[in-house]
Structure 1
Amino acid sequence: MRKNSNKNKRINGEVQKVISEAIRYSKDPRISPFTSVMDVEVAPDLKTCKVWVTVMGNDEDRLRTAEGLKSAAGYIRSTVAKQLNMRYTPELRFIMDDSIEYAINMSKIIDEVTAKDNEARAARGEDIETESDDFVDEDSFEEEE
């Protein structure tokens, strides 16, 4: 089975669903309720699985959740084995994913730069464009008969 085959994509999707549910219903108090499984990559031989997880919160929440997931890996793996009929049950490796937090920080930086640019333009007396010139309001056109 190739890495990007349709079969492998379906397996990744199903494993992601099962792992997400298992994390949601795990009783480990260290695992944050704001934990999301972002992506899953099952190896073509079905022996290993990388699970990218994101946790909304501070660094302490992330560390506790990482410890909790490492501790609950056996339970989550057994849940995958029970719910999915696979030749092998993959060994799970959890990886903390900071892409959402990175995107939020980048968005804040862009907003700050835009605000400073708008202030500088206003100070110089230039017009500040808030909407794109490419936007066309469909209601402003009347139908010709």
Structure 2
Amino acid sequence: MADLRANRVAVQMQKELGDILTRKIKDPRVGFVTVTDVEVTGDLQQAKVFISVLGNDQEKQESLLGLAKANGFIRAEIGQRIRLRKTPEITFEIDEAFEYGNRIDTLLRDLNKE
């Protein structure tokens, strides 16, 4: 039962975070960021947000720094949009799976050319 609720909260958070990051965050360090997944613990205390960032490693780190700085604002926005007794603590992580998939895709295309 708790897992189902955590999943619903995660899906709702992913939707709202996408909107917040595109419309509300004005920090120039936060470039083209896409929320790829959100994992919420069963007790709804922690939320791990996976993002993909367009750019090189330095731009990705800059985006993470910008998001860390805006974390309080983002949490407050989430709290207003999703009615929960306590808004989960949010941590942002780069989603490596997306890049890994792109790298494999590129390698497969190169093999097909040969």
Whether the TM-score (by the shorter chain) exceeds 0.5 is: yes
Which residue of 2 is the match for residue 107 of structure 1? 105
Give structure 2 stretches of 5+ with no counterpart. Answer: none
Larger Rg: 1
Which residue of 1 is the match for residue 57 of structure 2? 59
Opposite residue 81 of structure 1, the aligned amino acid is G
Alpha-carbon separation, structure 2, partners of 1:10 and 1:103: 26
Q: Equivalent residues in 2 for 1:73-84 (5 A)?
A: 73-84=71-82
What CA deviation, in whole Å up to 9, does each residue of 1:3-30 have, x standing for no partner? 3x2x322211111111111111211111
Aligned residue for 1:60, secondary structure, equals: helix
When the two chains are superposed, the root-mean-square deviation of aligned CA atoms in Å is 1.3
Opposite residue 42 of structure 1, the aligned amino acid is V
Deviation at 1:114, TM superposition (A): 2.2
Which residue of 2 is the match for residue 135 of structure 1? none
Greater share of residues in helix: 2
Alpha-carbon separation, structure 2, partners of 1:46 and 1:108: 38
TM-score (normalizing by structure 1) = 0.73
Contact 2:6 2:44 (8 Å CA) reproduced: no
User: Which 4+ stretches in 1 moved above 6 angstroms?
Assistant: none
Kindly, what percent of the aligned residue pairs are identical?
32
Opposite residue 88 of structure 1, the aligned amino acid is K
TM-score (normalizing by structure 2) = 0.91
Greater share of residues in strand: 2
Aligned residue for 2:48, secondary structure, equals: strand
Opposite residue 71 of structure 1, the aligned amino acid is K
Task: Pick 1 or 2: higher relative contact order, CA cutoff 8 A, min separation 6.
Answer: 2
Deviation at 1:2, TM superposition (A): 3.3
Number of residues paired by the alignment? 113
Give structure 1 stretches of 5+ with no counterpart. Answer: 117-145
